[in-house]
Amino acid sequence: MADSPFRKNLQTTFCGISMPNPFWLASAPPTNTGGQIMRAFEAGWGGAVWKTLGQPVVNVSSRYSTVDYDGKRVMGLNNIELITDRPLEVNFREITEVKKRYPKHALIVSLMVESKRETWHEIVKRAEGAGADGLELNFGCPHGMSERGMGSAVGQVPEYACQITEWAKEAAKTPVIVKLTPNIADIRFPARAAKKGGADAVSLINTINSVTGVDLDSFVPRPDVGGKSAHGGYCGPAVKPIALSMLAEVARDAEVRLPISGIGGVQSWKDAAEFLLLGSSTVQVCTAVMHYGYRIIEDLCDGLSNYIEDKGMSSVSELVGKSIPNYSKWEDLDLNYKVVAQIDQDKCIGCGLCYTACEDGAHQSIFGTPDLEKNRTHCEINQETCVGCNLCSLVCPVQGCIDMKKIDTGREKLTWKEYSQDPAKHPHLGPHH
């Protein structure tokens, strides 16, 4: 095993549970069995959330489907797999075994049972009895289980979420983490409900309702289960921006103020750092492991550890929530902040993508002319009309060729709130500017 998962600056504590690093395997197929989790811990994972335990289910064959993009596989992953389909006793026995052999790693057990107080009490006690360091209540699974009144059917109704959290807390001695569903208009409400119910932490996001596509020959949506399909839960790199947005909403909500375990499309240490910066204390990973295996933990840890060092910090906790002060409402943004695009003609390869993007998709501020001698499209920014939207710099295939240069307007910061009180005082921002 490489040393990186045990570097001092990665040591993490979450709700009193300590672990070598902030990387957990999310409750999912990679945490289905004790054998898998032991291999994961051996590879260096800091923690794992055991695949959801409850009344064992029967699964269908043909469970996953993906969204591929421009030849790249698994940009998004959809699943219709349910919770554990193995006997509870077997799961508990393995939990005990794993905890005995890997006492320093966080072992969280995900739970989902029918909405009865006694049933929740019982499963909580059995999980803790087996050796769980903490519990994660699965209020998020959007497929199958929700049809039976569990999973996201609970997470979508704040009152239910609060109630069941209370039941779990009545029996629990270890920290209770409530896992939130993103399939809701405003994630803050179930998060507040979890808090109200006594949760020690929240984790988000669970998977998003999804249909990844339709087979154009058979007309059956994917995955095809004998000629029929059903919606599944979506995860993987494609969902990261949605997860980050929901994470930030919860992290800055004054009514929640709970530790957060972030989930959603984490592939690399950079993704993980972003989750930490927007307020999560640990980071859960699933799809990347389903794609590449447990071995990815080495670079997750190595990269994050190096980053912390490069930033002159000494621990993961210094990153947590560091970007939240920089995340505000639109109305608090500075209307007098100004950038314009600038092309480094020495780097330009003349593909014309910035021109056509600006012309058709933005603000018609690039002159694109054919340079017949070089057989290239020569592009120049019209800095007078450039609104600084960034689009050209985003589509440019050459690193560092288009730069968004800050223009000193010499004007004070001005928010929408301030501007809208008396627009006439700011004619430079008028509609006919």
Residues that bind other proteins (CB under 8 A): 70-71, 349-353, 355-356, 368, 370, 375-377, 397-398
The structure tokens listed for 34 are: 């004790």
Residue 239 CB, shortest distance to other proteins, in Å, is 22
Residue 292 CB, shortest distance to other proteins, in Å, is 19
Measured CA to CA, the distance from residue 294 to residue 30 in angstroms comes to 8
Residue 350 CB, shortest distance to other proteins, in Å, is 6
Residue of 357, 427, 338 whose CA lies nearest to 397? 357
Question: Measured from the CB atom, is 198 or 350 closer to other proteins?
Answer: 350
Q: How far is CA 193 from the centre of its chain?
A: 21
Candidates 141, 162, 301, 401; catalytic one = 141
Taking CA atoms, 8 is separated from 12, 105, 224, 273, in Å, by 9, 15, 47, 17
Only one residue has tokens 């627009």, namely 423
The structure tokens listed for 361 are: 């998709």
Q: Do residues 260 and 204 make contact, with C-beta atoms less than 8 angstroms apart?
A: yes
Residue 72 CB, shortest distance to other proteins, in Å, is 8
Residue 354 CB, shortest distance to other proteins, in Å, is 9
141 carries an active-site annotation: yes
State whether residue 377 is helix, strand or coil. strand
DSSP 192-246: HHHHHTT-SEEEE--PEEE---B-TTT-PBSS-BTTB---EEEESGGGHHHHHHH
Residue 69 CB, shortest distance to other proteins, in Å, is 9
Taking CA atoms, 258 is separated from 163, 166, 247, 328, in Å, by 18, 16, 12, 19
The structure tokens listed for 377 are: 């499209």
DSSP 104-143: TSEEEEEE---S-HHHHHHHHHHHHHHT-SEEEEE----S
Residue 213 CB, shortest distance to other proteins, in Å, is 13
Strands 201-204 and 176-179, sheet pairing: parallel
Q: Do residues 79 and 207 make contact, with C-beta atoms less than 8 angstroms apart?
A: yes
Q: Do residues 331 and 391 make contact, with C-beta atoms less than 8 angstroms apart?
A: no
Question: Measured from the CB atom, is 304 or 392 closer to other proteins?
Answer: 392
| Cis preceding linkage at 205, omega within 30 | yes
To the nearest 5 percent, what fractions of the chain are helix, strand and coil? Answer: 35, 20, 40
Residues marked active site are found at 141
